[in-house]
Amino acid sequence: MPDTHPTQIADSIGPERRAALATRFQKARSRTAELVAPLSPEDLMVQTAPYGTPAKWHLAHTSWLFEVAVLIPFSPGYRPCDPTFLDLFAARGNHPHPPPRALSRPTVAEIMRHRDHINAAVLHLIDQAEDGRWEAVAAAVTMAVAHERRHQERMLLHIKHALWCNPLRPAFEPPPDIPPAGTRQDGWVEKAGGLIEIGRPTPVPGFDHEGPRHRVWLDPYRLAARPVSCGEFLDFIKADGYSRRELWLSDGWDTARAEGWSAPLYWERTGSGGAGGWRIFTLYGMRPLDPDEPVCHVSWYEADAYARWAGARLPYEAEWEAVAADCDSMGNLLGTGHRHPCAGACHGAGPWQMCGDVWEWTRDAFTPYPGYRQPDGPDEAVHGRFAINRMVLRGGSCLTPFDHAGPWTRHHLRPESRLSVTGIRLAEDG
Amino acid letter at 157?
L
Angle 45-281-339 from CA coordinates, rounded to 5°: 75
**157, 231, 275, 278, 281 from 286: Cα distances, Å:** 16, 18, 14, 10, 4
Give start and end residues of each alpha helix (H) in 217-271: 230-238, 250-259
Topology agreement, domain 6-165 and domain 188-429: no
- What's the rounded Cα separation, in Å, for the pair 307 and 135? 47
Q: Which region holds residue 413: left if phi is over 0, alpha if psi is between -120 and 50, else beta? A: beta
Strand partners, 299: none
- What's the rounded Cα separation, in Å, for the pair 323 and 38? 38
**43, 53, 67, 106, 194 from 98: Cα distances, Å:** 19, 12, 21, 13, 52
pLDDT computed for residue 5 by the predictor = 39
pLDDT band at residue 337, thresholds of 50, 70 and 90? confident
Mean pLDDT of the chain: 89
pLDDT computed for residue 188 by the predictor = 94
Going from N- to C-terminal start, the domains of the chain cover: 6-165, 188-429
pLDDT band at residue 8, thresholds of 50, 70 and 90? very low
pLDDT computed for residue 186 by the predictor = 82
Instruction: Say whether pTM exceeds 0.85.
Output: yes
Sheet arrangement for strand 278-282: 267-269, 278-282, 285-288
- What's the rounded Cα separation, in Å, for the pair 254 and 62? 36
pLDDT computed for residue 10 by the predictor = 32
Amino acid letter at 429?
D
Examine the pLDDT at 336 and tell me if it is beyond 50: yes
Mean pLDDT of 245-267: 98
Chain segment 360-400, per-residue pLDDT in tens: 999 999 999 999 988 765 544 444 567 789 999 999 999 99
pLDDT band at residue 221, thresholds of 50, 70 and 90? very high
- What's the rounded Cα separation, in Å, for the pair 410 and 364? 11
Residues 6+ apart with CB under 8 A from 105: none
Listed ranges 2-16, 91-105, 141-155, 382-396; the one with the highest mean pLDDT: 141-155
pLDDT computed for residue 213 by the predictor = 95
Specify the CATH class of 6-165 in words. mainly alpha
Give the residue among 402, 401, 414, 416 at the shortest CA–CA distance from 153.
401
- What's the rounded Cα separation, in Å, for the pair 129 and 140? 12
Element (H, E) at 382: none
Residues 6+ apart with CB under 8 A from 278: 234, 263, 267, 268, 269, 270, 288, 289
CATH architecture assignment, domain 188-429: Alpha-Beta Complex (3.90)
